[in-house]
């Protein structure tokens, strides 16, 4: 990988994690507000009962996954952590099909599709990292190998 491509990959990694890192930090900063939202009527009973724990776990996945991708410390695992966050959050938080109001339905559908797109990007990043033994501008290479 030449220097230009390596630099573009680094910039792409840093830009990709901005949303996730911001969300993780907000989950920590505004933990009471986030926990209250997790106790909402659309959430499964287990999440409602253990909202603070689920919020902390979500924040940990978001911050750890973002840091791993940005720093290049087992970035393949970082991509999997973000995917692990996205799957249950998308299914439980953005059930657009349950909304009768067209505006709410549209907003939730947009969020559902955004998360699906981000999940696809996480899978792509996992494959990209795991298929390369050496990735420039990383601290530690991938843990998995798809070669």
User: 78: Cβ–Cβ under 8 A, 6 or more apart, which residues?
Assistant: 64, 65, 66, 67, 68, 69
The answer to whether the beta carbons of residues 142 and 135 sit under 8 Å apart is: yes
Q: Is residue 104 part of a domain?
A: yes
Structural domain tally of the chain?
A: 1
Q: Is the pLDDT of residue 121 over 90?
A: yes
Q: Is residue 135 part of a domain?
A: no
Q: Is residue 143 part of a domain?
A: no
In this structure, is the dihedral angle defined by the CA atoms of residues 126, 127, 132 and 137, taken in order, positive or negative?
negative
Q: Is residue 141 part of a domain?
A: no
Q: Is residue 138 part of a domain?
A: no
User: 25: Cβ–Cβ under 8 A, 6 or more apart, which residues?
Assistant: 59, 63
Q: Is the pLDDT of residue 21 over 90?
A: yes
Q: Is residue 140 part of a domain?
A: no
Q: Which domain holds residue 97?
A: 3-130
Q: Is residue 120 part of a domain?
A: yes
Taking only the tens place, the pLDDT of each residue in 55-89 is: 999 999 999 999 999 999 999 999 999 999 999 99
* pLDDT level of residue 36 (50, 70, 90 thresholds): very high
The answer to whether the beta carbons of residues 98 and 140 sit under 8 Å apart is: no
Question: What is the reported pTM?
Answer: 0.92
Q: Is residue 147 part of a domain?
A: no
In this structure, is the dihedral angle defined by the CA atoms of residues 9, 14, 18 and 22, taken in order, positive or negative?
positive
* pLDDT level of residue 134 (50, 70, 90 thresholds): confident
The answer to whether the beta carbons of residues 43 and 111 sit under 8 Å apart is: no
């Amino acid at each position: 990988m030449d220097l230009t491509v390596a630099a573009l990959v680094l910039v792409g990694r840093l830009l990709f994690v901005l949303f996730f890192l911001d969300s993780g930090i907000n989950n920590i900063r505004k933990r009471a507000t986030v926990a209250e939202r997790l106790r909402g009527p659309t959430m499964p009973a287990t999440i409602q009962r253990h909202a603070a724990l689920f919020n902390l776990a979500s924040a940990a996945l978001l911050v750890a996954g973002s840091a791993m991708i940005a720093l290049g410390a087992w970035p393949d695992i970082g991509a999997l952590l973000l995917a692990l966050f996205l799957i249950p959050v998308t299914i439980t938080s953005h059930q657009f099909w349950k909304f009768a109001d067209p505006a709410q339905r549209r907003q939730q559908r947009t969020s559902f599709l955004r998360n699906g797109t981000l999940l696809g990007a996480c899978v792509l990043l996992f494959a990209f990292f795991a298929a390369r033994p050496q990735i420039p501008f990383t601290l530690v290479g991938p843990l998995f190998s798809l070669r």
